[in-house]
Amino acid sequence: MAKIIGNALPNIPWQDKPEGCIDPVWRYSENPIITRNAVPGARSVLNSAAVPYGDGFIGVFRVDSLAMIPGLHVGRSKDGIHWEIEPNQINLVCEDKETANFTYGFDPRVTFIEDRYYVMWCNVIAGVGSTVGLAYTFDFETFYQLPNAYPLYNRNAVLFPKKIDGKFGMLNRPTSGGHCTNGCICYSESPDMIYWGKHRHVMNPTSGWQGTKIGAGPIPIETDEGWLVFYHGVTQMASGMMYSMGGAILDKDQPWKVLYRTKGMIMGPEALYERTGDCSNVVFPCAALTDSETGRIAIYYGAADTVVGLCFCEVNEIVDFIKKNS
Amino acid sequence: MAKIIGNALPNIPWQDKPEGCIDPVWRYSENPIITRNAVPGARSVLNSAAVPYGDGFIGVFRVDSLAMIPGLHVGRSKDGIHWEIEPNQINLVCEDKETANFTYGFDPRVTFIEDRYYVMWCNVIAGVGSTVGLAYTFDFETFYQLPNAYPLYNRNAVLFPKKIDGKFGMLNRPTSGGHCTNGCICYSESPDMIYWGKHRHVMNPTSGWQGTKIGAGPIPIETDEGWLVFYHGVTQMASGMMYSMGGAILDKDQPWKVLYRTKGMIMGPEALYERTGDCSNVVFPCAALTDSETGRIAIYYGAADTVVGLCFCEVNEIVDFIKKNS
Amino acid sequence: MAKIIGNALPNIPWQDKPEGCIDPVWRYSENPIITRNAVPGARSVLNSAAVPYGDGFIGVFRVDSLAMIPGLHVGRSKDGIHWEIEPNQINLVCEDKETANFTYGFDPRVTFIEDRYYVMWCNVIAGVGSTVGLAYTFDFETFYQLPNAYPLYNRNAVLFPKKIDGKFGMLNRPTSGGHCTNGCICYSESPDMIYWGKHRHVMNPTSGWQGTKIGAGPIPIETDEGWLVFYHGVTQMASGMMYSMGGAILDKDQPWKVLYRTKGMIMGPEALYERTGDCSNVVFPCAALTDSETGRIAIYYGAADTVVGLCFCEVNEIVDFIKKNS
Amino acid sequence: MAKIIGNALPNIPWQDKPEGCIDPVWRYSENPIITRNAVPGARSVLNSAAVPYGDGFIGVFRVDSLAMIPGLHVGRSKDGIHWEIEPNQINLVCEDKETANFTYGFDPRVTFIEDRYYVMWCNVIAGVGSTVGLAYTFDFETFYQLPNAYPLYNRNAVLFPKKIDGKFGMLNRPTSGGHCTNGCICYSESPDMIYWGKHRHVMNPTSGWQGTKIGAGPIPIETDEGWLVFYHGVTQMASGMMYSMGGAILDKDQPWKVLYRTKGMIMGPEALYERTGDCSNVVFPCAALTDSETGRIAIYYGAADTVVGLCFCEVNEIVDFIKKNS
Amino acid sequence: MAKIIGNALPNIPWQDKPEGCIDPVWRYSENPIITRNAVPGARSVLNSAAVPYGDGFIGVFRVDSLAMIPGLHVGRSKDGIHWEIEPNQINLVCEDKETANFTYGFDPRVTFIEDRYYVMWCNVIAGVGSTVGLAYTFDFETFYQLPNAYPLYNRNAVLFPKKIDGKFGMLNRPTSGGHCTNGCICYSESPDMIYWGKHRHVMNPTSGWQGTKIGAGPIPIETDEGWLVFYHGVTQMASGMMYSMGGAILDKDQPWKVLYRTKGMIMGPEALYERTGDCSNVVFPCAALTDSETGRIAIYYGAADTVVGLCFCEVNEIVDFIKKNS
Amino acid sequence: MAKIIGNALPNIPWQDKPEGCIDPVWRYSENPIITRNAVPGARSVLNSAAVPYGDGFIGVFRVDSLAMIPGLHVGRSKDGIHWEIEPNQINLVCEDKETANFTYGFDPRVTFIEDRYYVMWCNVIAGVGSTVGLAYTFDFETFYQLPNAYPLYNRNAVLFPKKIDGKFGMLNRPTSGGHCTNGCICYSESPDMIYWGKHRHVMNPTSGWQGTKIGAGPIPIETDEGWLVFYHGVTQMASGMMYSMGGAILDKDQPWKVLYRTKGMIMGPEALYERTGDCSNVVFPCAALTDSETGRIAIYYGAADTVVGLCFCEVNEIVDFIKKNS
């Protein structure tokens, strides 16, 4: 019986699995929970990250303007389902612009470590390329930007929620620019969130649904069996790229070691709001809430690059599924 | 208060803006107004052009056969919404085939200048490439073809509805062949519709929704603030190209000068008939009717390369929107 | 009056043409008939082949796992509409693995010749490429694999249901790897299903809906006018490739000679389950049942690389249509 | 016996054909005649144009700087072989910069018509693309720039040395940007060198040495058999593109009609200075001097994008060769 | 001590290894032995095949015309070094054009089996693609063409000089069209030179000089250690593809089994006539003469797609080298 | 008068500038100084690094085997011109293979900092990609490998010869895999040669000879005007990429700030051994020796990916040239 290691979250958004459903993950019946209507002037609200905060929830949301330029916005919710998103982008406070060069950001993740919240995102430097942007905040009002983690060409960075052997640990995805056609997951560590090193290769794209590229999704979830990781896999179809969700269990102490990894996808595009949108056929998980009491997991994911959906699973069932389908 | 300069059109097709809609352009509730059923043997009826004619409306329609070879057909309507389209392609009368070489045409525009109607289209010369085809008609029964405007590789040509400084003026889109991945809008002029010159660069693709290529849409609309232009912008998504509609105001006397241009799109693919079709995610405006009395504008656009849709706006609101979002 | 040469099939699945329908082929009203729910652990059930068997029907189905790795499965049906598909892939018995190298297969076709059923498929050899896989069975329980028909890079092979001039005859599609962007139909013959030769070129892609590549579909249907062939044609749209169905009549004795071939498609993607799925805009015919008594034809086709659909036509009408639209 | 129609040029640079040579064109034994040493700070002096002037010769030369940015420079010569090239680029006088937009130019051609010298070149507009630049001069000191001939994407324009049916006639090469992989030769006409129209298609790339793209070379040479045209053809080899020289005879009155055209090349890269240089394997003819008395023709060509070479032929032999090898 | 199994050839062209040379293969000092001057109207004479014949030598030569269209020509030599090449292409006698479809051919190989000479080449079918062409001759005057060995997309076919286990055996290179960027060596067999089957995969490209594609060269040479094979390997450099020569030993009885294969090249482009030419950096071996008495081997190879070169090795040294460097 | 800050090197290899030479850099008259003959079994000896050592010189050389797999070898020289290169690759001692993953390396640079020599190279991890490899040595016999500096996709790393503000500083070139078509120079720093951070963008490719990509060359040379840097620039020609050498002056204290940078190249491919070789048209500088007494600089560069050349300049002249041509 796999167990989540962490806090209880009694108010986690939740729906029981529908009868007859044999999949390990199921969608919220009122999906999508967030559409472009959430922010005036938005084209889409998509790949976004939520965490518990006070007696409710808070998060950093990717909002693409009508110009289709992405931006990072703070959002707040009482129940994790209905969200109020600020119309303005977060304001990054930064002492040294040179090492934290930044034009705009997208696909954020958020995690709490020790005393503060860290935000990671794909950080676009106009005319140069994209890399991993980092910041921390105590209150989601002031965000202190840190130096970018790599010189260039990296995205989908996901910090572990606690230090690994005394160091910050981060999954990341070296990449070429644009809609690149290959990409693997690596692991980097840092003593101080400023200097990064001891980079290790973790997982490659393989075949089928994850044959073109892969990238980490929500913050890894600590369980007694290891780190539970949801990630996206991409395959090139005759009609374009398709993004689906898979799962893996990483070693607790050496999280660059993959203990289990689903051969098949856990959830792929199937609902109409996942099939059609600005980018057809996209399920892109970015955040997860967990309740250690009940083992419930709620996953936020971008659908078709256009809206945000919510889906659910239980830790024991999903860990079991990943192990059996590895 | 921006005003349309031109004729009144009391019978312009129209629906008031739905309550709660905050967008400057709204769709006709019975869209799509034309489908492949309009012409026996058609695969699709799409990017097409309508003008007032007598006490009703007339137009040139792009009808793709079941072979998916495009053709230009005349259509007639009493109300601008319900159309009867001729089953046969228009017959081009042409004295000099060599300078008006033509295999088939698509994406027509139509405008009335002085004493006749001009038709422009993307003119495909089999085995050679595509350029701008031109013809005029007095009655939509006989079309007199003019020499092609450029040697090769140009499309989306749109004549101004009156001479500019004594010359015909035409927006156009130099291009490479096929589904080219960049393209800008230029302006050319002609003393006689035969010889073209004094070409000027007008607008480039920029970023986001219009980062890959752009092309003019309906005939420019004369207003007291300048020429109101709707155009399409294209962005390359991981699942293919997406076409949306933007707007611009060009200088009245020097229409190659851009006074304002929307950073964000005015209307992008959102309805299911825009999201899915032979080419997913396409909103492609080709014609506009205007009523100078009320300021009403009705825009005809191709949706998903499969059907024709209709949408509406008011001149004052849209000009205001373009200026504020420039 | 074209007539099918072959057996009667009184229990052929059938629905009359809906009133008002002017197309020569019409869809089954309860489409799709097979979805991923047919097989636990399946992502999709798609391009598949059915034949009459006993007092019902049997077939070989392409089932893509959640890993999106294709597999070939046997399925059985009483009425040709409701199918039970085995959860396990067919087990190929093979004496000489070297010449029948095989990692996985997809897009099967099945035909009965003389005393047994032959199965053909696209045969992927991991790390090498894909070619034509072949096997025969008497009972759909044991499948005896034959040597691959070509060294490499061939797919969409379709055996004729009887020998041509004393030799096995097979349509096939030489190809490059992956989502290749051109491909034609060839004809090969064999005295023994082991050695293949006398290869002939049959049809090229042309333009429009079949301008990018083409490939044979169901087993050719013998008629008194020649071999009736349904095939798929592909065109490259700005949003990806689109697959539609066309038809041709091949010479009875020299089936590499094309007597007639539709300029337009017979049926293209139009239903939502054909428009959206893992690969948007796909109609991919793989099998046909025929009743020589009534001239009825039922065609099985993959839709959007995700489900199986059924459509119908009558031999006289479709032959007539192909001849008139050639 | 083909004859050149035009002036005598007794001082035409010349060498008799070497004994044993069976090719219709032969190289000057002291090639290359111009190298980068001709201009301090030059990387290369290449595709350039010369005309008779006074009792010597004058021309416009392409000089690429050490930054490899091309420029147009005037050069002067007594004998057509030894040249003095001005260190500064020509200064274009231009009344209307908007219609004569210009960042830099390359691959010039020069011709005298009626009372002045016209210069044509590939005109690069930074951030926009390239088109045909035009200017005229009386004295090679002041150059009056005319509006660009096309909106965008055209190069290798070559004016005929006299009006055709009362209009200026110009060969040109519609193109996509960069090292495009296809391109044909068209013909455009103009009443005034400002407005261009009646565009006709002249020649396509075919196969072999001219299978990828083609473009006109020197100013057409008037003969009693029609216009003698030298052009370059390009083929894509496994090691990059190769540029060779071919010949054609165009109809005297309707020069868009090809009477003869060499199937084989007339001269391809063979000398070491043609085989190696900044662009390997390039023979790129840009200018020709002719002597109507003797039928001698001297052709200037760029070699390997690095130097200028000179080669010779006789009008009767070359016309004969083109006709026999057409 | 490896030995050649076969005839003595006392008049084999030969030069001893130059002193100081440590490479296992060395060039003929008078290279290139054949240039375009050998055939009037030729652009190049390149990848060609020679065999002993009577008291001299004979062969089939690839001669590219000035149009750069390849052709196959017979050539004769007394000493194997000085060749006379017929100006006309060989004339193929063919009973069934349909299965021996042929537009032009290139890169021939020749071998004697039992009672006749077989010729293999890359057989281009215009508008369709390329495959393996086959013919036999008794006298090099009449060539009887056989059906093409594969439907499409194959080249570099090389027959073994005797039957393997009672069947004709042939190395071949499945390919996509044009300058494809991958390609491996396969083995096919035939009972009758008409039907081909039991295809096996032999060797893949690996890395370095042979990382992009590989293809067989001369007819395999029988030795007591197995079949000695010279082949070309291709690597994609920043300046284009480079072709070098490697060697392998195949199993005597199962020649699809690779016993040894050089990790490094045996001879790569180094001489100026290999470095520069119509295709820079090409060493392309097509034929070998052997003398079983002395163990001498003379290899004919195309250089830079422009000329023919000759190089030498000794069987014992080369087999040893291949084994040690495998 | 710019001055080198550093040691005197009286035995620096040197030749005075040839008379008449107006370029700021000139070639050694006996170039190339190292060819493949230097190492038995080598295909080429190319992009390599030399430093003073004892009373002579030592270095790390890139030696590509006949398999064209690169390797790093130690070489020794008395005069800096004649080199003895060890036949075996350097042996890397490495405690933690996981963070110093390594298959092979190429394009080394070497610098002495404080008490040891550091080596940097492009570090290929088979099946994964390439990154920056690092090691140090005291004696060029034992090399201690450090963790790779970045997760993936970086090359052309060049350490500064002393700490900058207490940290190691390193120029580097983020890249995509293979022959990537863009790449800029960044700066990273490290407190300990294990963790890297504070990455800054330094220079982008611009246009002309350096329009495609750029990368640092030798170790930066300290002068009283700032850091003198030689770098390579790449441009895409129709026949492939061309590599030339440029120069820049970086700020002494903040070397990520570019004070001057040549618009034109300083030295491009011109000698035959630079024009032809395994990769045509390559001048690739990797190391420089300097004599602070005389201001002499000797630059080692790879030529045509095949051999090593030597060229010279004087510090005052070159700094002056860079400043004047910036």
Considering the domain boundaries, does residue A270 fall inside one? yes
Q: Digits of tens for pLDDT over chain A (326 positions)? A: 899 999 999 999 999 999 999 899 999 999 999 999 999 999 999 999 999 999 999 999 999 999 999 999 999 999 999 999 999 999 999 988 888 888 999 999 999 999 999 999 999 988 778 889 999 999 999 999 999 998 888 899 999 999 999 999 999 998 765 566 668 899 999 999 999 898 888 999 999 999 999 999 999 999 999 999 999 999 999 999 999 999 999 999 999 999 999 999 999 999 999 999 999 999 999 999 999 999 999 999 999 999 999 999 999 999 999 999 99
F126 pLDDT above the threshold of 90: no
Residue C326 per-residue DSSP state: -
- Who among D43, D69, D179 is closest to F268 (CB)? D43
Total of domains in chain A: 1
Q: Please say whether the beta carbons of D48 and D59 come within 8 A.
A: yes
Two tokens at E207? 């890395």
H/E stretch holding D198 reads: strand D195-203
Two tokens at A264? 């098949």
Taking Cα atoms as reference points, which of D51, D60, D62, D64 lies closest to residue D11?
D51
* Structure confidence at residue E199 (pLDDT): 87
D68, D234, D239, D243: best to mutate for the F interface, most F CBs within 10 A? D68
CA angle C225, C231, C232 (to 5 degrees): 155
Mean pLDDT confidence for F8-16: 98
Cα–Cα distance, D319 to D1 (Å, whole number): 9
Chains A and E touch, using 3 or more CB pairs below 8 Å: no
- Who among E186, E190, E194 is closest to C152 (CB)? E186
D278, D283, D284, D306: best to mutate for the F interface, most F CBs within 10 A? D278
Query: CA–CA distance from C206 to each of A57, C203, C266 (Å)?
Result: 58, 9, 15
Query: Which residues of A are less than 8 Å from C65 in CB distance?
Result: 208, 263-264
Two tokens at B15? 């629906």
Q: In chain F, what percentage of residues exceed pLDDT 90? A: 87
Let me know how long chain E is: 326
CA angle C301, C303, C307 (to 5 degrees): 95
Query: How many residue pairs from chains C and E have C-beta atoms closer than 8 A?
Result: 110
Mean pLDDT confidence for C96-123: 94
Q: How far is the alpha carbon of C298 from chain A, nearest alpha carbon, in Å?
A: 27
Query: Which residues of E are less than 8 Å from C176 in CB distance?
Result: 153, 176-177, 180
Q: How many alpha carbons fall within 13 Å on the CB side of residue D216?
A: 37
Two tokens at C319? 């032959």
* Structure confidence at residue D128 (pLDDT): 80
Instruction: Specify the amino acid at residue E244.
Output: S
* Structure confidence at residue D177 (pLDDT): 55
Q: How far is the alpha carbon of B225 from chain A, nearest alpha carbon, in Å?
A: 23
Considering the domain boundaries, does residue D273 fall inside one? yes
| Bridge pairing between strands F92-93 and F83-89 | unpaired
Considering the domain boundaries, does residue D235 fall inside one? yes
CA angle E170, E173, E179 (to 5 degrees): 150
> If pLDDT is split at 50, 70 and 90, which confidence band does C176 have?
low
What are the two backbone dihedrals, phi and then psi, of residue C75, each rounded to the nearest 5 degrees? Answer: -130, 155
Mean pLDDT confidence for C165-184: 81
Q: Please say whether the beta carbons of F90 and F48 come within 8 A.
A: no
Enclosing domain of residue E243: 29-324
Cα–Cα distance, E62 to E72 (Å, whole number): 5
Is the link from the previous residue into E108 a cis peptide, with omega within 30 of 0? Answer: no
Cα–Cα distance, B71 to B89 (Å, whole number): 6
E65 pLDDT above the threshold of 90: yes
Q: How far is the alpha carbon of D244 from chain B, nearest alpha carbon, in Å?
A: 22
Taking Cα atoms as reference points, which of D220, D306, D271 lies closest to residue D43?
D306
Residue A263 per-residue DSSP state: S
Mean pLDDT confidence for F70-81: 98
Cα–Cα distance, D43 to D63 (Å, whole number): 8
For chain F, the residues whose C-beta falls within 8 A of a C-beta of chain E are 40-41, 43, 64-69, 178-179, 234, 239-243, 276-282, 305
Residue ranges, chain D, pLDDT below 50: none
Taking Cα atoms as reference points, which of E239, D95, C272, B157 lies closest to residue A271?
C272
Considering the domain boundaries, does residue B22 fall inside one? no
Q: Which chains touch E (3 or more CB pairs under 8 A)?
A: C, D, F
Query: Which residues of E are less than 8 Å from F43 in CB distance?
Result: 209, 264-265, 268
F179 pLDDT above the threshold of 80: no
Mean pLDDT confidence for C291-316: 98
> If pLDDT is split at 50, 70 and 90, which confidence band does C39 have?
very high
> If pLDDT is split at 50, 70 and 90, which confidence band does E178 have?
low
Taking Cα atoms as reference points, which of E250, E283, E223, E222 lies closest to residue E23?
E283
Q: Which chains touch D (3 or more CB pairs under 8 A)?
A: B, E, F
Concatenated DSSP letters of C119-184: EEEEEEETTTEEEEEEEEESSSS-EEEEPPSSSSSEEEEEE-SS-BTTBEEEEEEE--SSS-S-B-
Q: Please say whether the beta carbons of F321 and F266 come within 8 A.
A: yes
Q: How far is the alpha carbon of C111 from chain B, nearest alpha carbon, in Å?
A: 30
Cβ within 8 Å, pair E43-D265: yes
Closest-CA residue in chain D for B98? D200
- Who among E238, E263, E325 is closest to F279 (CB)? E238
Cα–Cα distance, A41 to A20 (Å, whole number): 40
Cβ within 8 Å, pair A272-C277: no
Cα–Cα distance, E152 to F270 (Å, whole number): 44
Cβ within 8 Å, pair E207-F240: no
Considering the domain boundaries, does residue B262 fall inside one? yes
Q: How many alpha carbons fall within 13 Å on the CB side of residue C261?
A: 20
Q: Please say whether the beta carbons of E210 and E246 come within 8 A.
A: yes
CB burial class (10 A; 0-12, 13-18, 19+) of residue F287?
buried
- Who among D41, D67, D278 is closest to F281 (CB)? D278
Cβ within 8 Å, pair E237-F305: yes
Alpha-helix residue ranges (DSSP H) falling in chain B: 272-275, 315-324
Cβ within 8 Å, pair F194-A194: no
Query: CA–CA distance from D223 to each of D9, D228, D261 (Å)?
Result: 15, 7, 15
Closest-CA residue in chain B for A234? B238
Residue B115 per-residue DSSP state: T
What are the two backbone dihedrals, phi and then psi, of residue D320, each rounded to the nearest 5 degrees? Answer: -60, -45
Question: Following CA atoms F297, F303, F309, F313 in sequence, which dihedral angle do they give, to the nearest 10 degrees?
Answer: -20
* Structure confidence at residue A252 (pLDDT): 97
E130, E276, E281: best to mutate for the D interface, most D CBs within 10 A? E276
CA C126 distance to own-chain centroid: 23
Considering the domain boundaries, does residue F8 fall inside one? no
Q: In chain C, what percentage of residues exceed pLDDT 70? A: 98
Tell me what the pLDDT averaged over chain F comes to: 94
Two tokens at A237? 């179809």
* Structure confidence at residue D183 (pLDDT): 83
Cα–Cα distance, A108 to A292 (Å, whole number): 24
Helices H / strands E in chain D, number of each: 2, 23
* Structure confidence at residue C46 (pLDDT): 97
CB burial class (10 A; 0-12, 13-18, 19+) of residue C272?
middle
C210, C237, C278: best to mutate for the B interface, most B CBs within 10 A? C237
Cα–Cα distance, B107 to E297 (Å, whole number): 66
Q: Which residues of E77-112 are buried (b: 16+ CB within 10 A; e: fewer)?
A: beebbebebeeeebebebeeebbbbbebbbbbbbbb
Q: How far is the alpha carbon of D24 from chain E, nearest alpha carbon, in Å?
A: 11
Query: Which residues of C are less than 8 Å from B68 in CB distance?
Result: 208-209, 211, 235, 264-265
User: What CATH number is associated with residue E160?
Assistant: 2.115.10.20
> If pLDDT is split at 50, 70 and 90, which confidence band does F151 have?
confident
pLDDT tens across E108-156, in order?
999 999 999 999 999 998 887 888 999 999 999 999 999 999 888 889 9
CA A4 distance to own-chain centroid: 18
List, in sequence order, every residue forming a beta bridge with F295; answer none if it has no partner.
Answer: none
Query: Which residues of E are less than 8 Å from C188 in CB distance?
Result: 151
Cβ within 8 Å, pair B325-A66: yes
Q: Mapping DSSP to helix (H, G, I), strand (E, B) and coil, where does residue E152 land?
A: coil
Q: Which residues of E295-321 are buried (b: 16+ CB within 10 A; e: fewer)?
A: bbbbbbbbbbbbbbbbbbbbbeebbeb
Cα–Cα distance, A141 to A136 (Å, whole number): 10
Query: CA–CA distance from F278 to each of F109, F199, F281, F311 (Å)?
Result: 21, 34, 10, 21
Cβ within 8 Å, pair A239-C68: no
Cβ count near A93 (within 10 Å) = 10
Taking Cα atoms as reference points, which of B198, B186, B111, B105 lies closest to residue D197?
B198
List, in sequence order, every residue forming a beta bridge with D323; answer none if it has no partner.
Answer: none
Q: Please say whether the beta carbons of D320 and D34 come within 8 A.
A: no
Q: Digits of tens for pLDDT over chain B (326 positions)? A: 899 999 999 999 999 999 999 899 999 999 999 999 999 999 999 999 999 999 999 999 999 999 999 999 999 999 999 999 999 999 999 988 889 988 999 999 999 999 999 999 999 988 888 899 999 999 999 999 999 999 888 899 999 999 999 999 999 998 765 566 678 999 999 999 999 999 999 999 999 999 999 999 999 999 999 999 999 999 999 999 999 999 999 999 999 999 999 999 999 999 999 999 999 999 999 999 999 999 999 999 999 999 999 999 999 999 999 999 99
pTM equals 0.91
E97, E153, E164, E193: best to mutate for the C interface, most C CBs within 10 A? E153
CA angle C257, C261, C267 (to 5 degrees): 140
Chains A and C touch, using 3 or more CB pairs below 8 Å: yes
Cα–Cα distance, B274 to B284 (Å, whole number): 10
* Structure confidence at residue C181 (pLDDT): 64
Closest-CA residue in chain D for F239? D240
Closest-CA residue in chain E for C176? E176
Cβ contacts of C69 within 8 Å, gap of 6 or more? A207, A208, C104
Q: Most distant CA pair in chain D: distance in Å? A: 55
Q: Please say whether the beta carbons of E300 and E310 come within 8 A.
A: yes
Question: Can you state the percent helix, strand and coil of chain C, rounding each to 5?
Answer: 5, 50, 45
Considering the domain boundaries, does residue C121 fall inside one? yes
Q: How far is the alpha carbon of F255 from chain A, nearest alpha carbon, in Å?
A: 13
Considering the domain boundaries, does residue D111 fall inside one? yes
